Amino acid sequence: QKEVEQNSGPLSVPEGAIASLNCTYSDRVSQSFFWYRQYSGKSPELIMSIYSNGDKEDGRFTAQLNKASQYVSLLIRDSQPSDSATYLCAVKTSYDKVIFGPGTSLSVIP
Amino acid sequence: GAVVSQHPSWVICKSGTSVKIECRSLDFQATTMFWYRQFPKQSLMLMATSNEGSKATYEQGVEKDKFLINHASLTLSTLTVTSAHPEDSSFYICSTNTGSIETQYFGPGTRLLVL
């Protein structure tokens, strides 16, 4: 089992819709979770971090964490074409390394 | 967030040559830096953890004699790809975290093409 899993996509949503990105992880002891956005040919940029169960909101982005289910998600409200990118879920494991998922490609259709 | 730079941004070299990539933290002292490699349409794979003043810690499957890491100062870590081959062509990205804060900040990356 891979340590961090994501649907590779592509996920297509119309402009203005909600995009929902999901991630599962295998290390039950993980405490720190991150969502990064990566545009083609660029390095990742941090969108959000989350450490506690529940929701964390920042503008149009909401991260959701459920440690019991080993599941973390990212919701993007009012999706814009500029949100089209690959979204990487990252988990800091119990052995202190940050492991990235394979990424989900999101396409927001105008 | 932290500011991290990399140099060069692009490099094309012949097979068998060595290539050095620099990673600098511009606004803080980085005791730890991380080196990742990303092949097209794949995720970031951690290659090694670079520790200032000590030897780097390499991930399983990464050849330490091929990918030389030096972290001689708190603001600079270098990755040297020795005797590069076409299969080493990739996007190399460094990152660091600001001490107690766990968030990683990435450099802009270096795209290596080995002919």
Smallest Cβ–Cβ distance between A43 and the set B43, B49, B108 belongs to B108
Cα A32–A98–B19 angle (5° rounding)? 155
What percent of the residues of chain B are helix, what percent strand, and what percent coil, each to the nearest 5?
5, 50, 45
For residues B103 and A110, what is the distance between their CA atoms, to the nearest angstrom? 32
For residues A31 and A24, what is the distance between their CA atoms, to the nearest angstrom? 13
pLDDT in tens, A8-54: 889 999 999 999 999 999 988 888 999 999 999 899 999 999 999 99
Task: Kindly report the average pLDDT of chain B as a whole number.
Answer: 90
Cβ contacts of B32 on chain A, cutoff 8 Å = none
Smallest Cβ–Cβ distance between A88 and the set B43, B46, B111 belongs to B43
Q: Name which of A49, A26, A23, A20 is nearest A36 in CA terms.
A: A49
pLDDT in tens, A63-85: 999 999 999 999 999 999 999 99
Q: Do B1 and A46 touch (CB under 8 A)?
A: yes
Cα dihedral sign, A4-B60-B48-A44: negative
Smallest Cβ–Cβ distance between A43 and the set B43, B49, B109 belongs to B109
Q: Does residue A90 sit at the B interface (CB-CB below 8 Å)? A: yes
Give the residues across from B105 on adjacent strands: B96
Residue B42 clears pLDDT 90, i.e. is over it: no
Q: Does residue A71 sit at the B interface (CB-CB below 8 Å)? A: no
Q: pLDDT: is B28 or B3 the higher one?
A: B3
Residue of B nearest to A32 (CA): B102
**Paired tokens of A106:** 């999101």
Residue B101 clears pLDDT 80, i.e. is over it: no
